Amino acid sequence: MANVTIIGAGAFGTALAIYNHRQGHQVCVWAFEKDLPESVRAEGENKQYLADVKVPAGVAWTNDMGEACKGADLVMIVVPSAHVRMTARALKDHLPSDAPIVSTAKGVETETLALMSDVLRQELPHHRSDLCYMSGPSFAREVAMGRPADVALAGADNAKARQAQEILHSASFRVYTSVDIIGVELGGAL
C-alpha cells in the first residue's frame, strides 16, 4: 500500500483517486475549488467534474497542499496545462524529497509554447530527477469504473518512473515505462 497524492480534483484527478483507492492505496486529493472537498465528502461524488460516479469515503479531500502531500509516496499533478506552472509554484515547498512526481497534463503552455516537462523543470528545479510524465488512451469515467486502460510513463530517471509504475500498474490500468519524455508528452497531445 502506498500514500498517493492527487493534485487536481477535476474529472481525471477524481478518477485516479478512485482507481488508486480501489488498488488499496491511501489517497488524498487536493482541490483548488474551496467548496469541493466538503461537497464530495457530503455527496459521495464529484458532481462538478465527474457526476454519477461514486467516490469512496476513504478518499481524503483537502484545500491544503501541505496536508495533501504529507507522507506521499507518489504525487500526481492532474491539472490542465494552462494551470501547471501556477500549481507547481504553489506545490514546490510541499513536495516530499524522494517521491516520484507524475504529471498528466497534455499540450504546451500557451504563452511560452513550452512543453509541460520544461515548465515543471523550471518550477521544480530540486525535483528534476523525480519528474515523470504519463499519457495514453484513457478516459476519466472509464478509469473510475475500472475499465481497461494503457498509459505510457516517462521520466528522466528510469528508476523513478519504475517506482511510479509499481504503485500505479494493475491488470486494468497498465503502465508502461519509457525514456522518451517528449514522445509521451506529444503523443497525448496530438
Query: For residue 186, is pLDDT > 90?
Result: no
Whether residue 188 contacts residue 106, with contact meaning beta carbons closer than 8 Å, is answered with yes
User: What pLDDT, on a 0 to 100 scale, did the predictor assign at position 150?
Assistant: 96
* Average pLDDT value over all residues in the chain: 96
**pLDDT surpassing 80 at residue 6:** yes
C-alpha 141, offset from chain centre: 15
DSSP code of 24? T
Grid cell at residue 131: 519528474
Instruction: Give the other-Cβ count within 10 Å of 59's Cβ.
Output: 21
Contact predicate 181/160, CB 8 Å: no
Q: Grid coordinates representing 148?
A: 481497461
Q: DSSP characters for 52-113? A: EEEPPTTSEEES-HHHHHTT-SEEEE-S-GGGHHHHHHHHTTT--SSS-EEE---SB-TTT-
**pLDDT tens-digit readout, 28-69:** 999 999 999 999 999 999 999 999 999 999 999 999 999 999
CB-hemisphere CA count at 13 Å for 5? 26
The whole-number pLDDT of residue 34 equals 97
Model confidence at 142, in pLDDT bands (50, 70, 90)?
very high
How distant, in Å, are the alpha carbons of 93, 113, 143 from that of 117? 19, 12, 24
Q: How confident is the model at residue 107 (pLDDT cuts 50, 70, 90)?
A: confident
Domains of the chain, each with CATH number or no CATH: 3-189 (3.40.50.720)
Sheet of strand 26-30: strand arrangement: 60-62, 26-30, 3-7, 74-77, 101-103, 131-135, 149-155, 173-178
Task: Return the percentage of the chain with pLDDT > 90, whole number.
Answer: 94
Confidence of residue 190 (pLDDT cuts 50, 70, 90): low
Neighbours of 166 (CB within 10 A): 13
pLDDT digits (tens, 9 = 90+) for 79-92: 999 999 999 999 99
Query: pLDDT tens-digit profile of 116-134?
Result: 999 999 999 999 999 999 9
pLDDT greater than 80 at residue 188: no
At residue 189, the pLDDT reads 64
Q: Which residues pair with 108 in a beta bridge?
A: 115
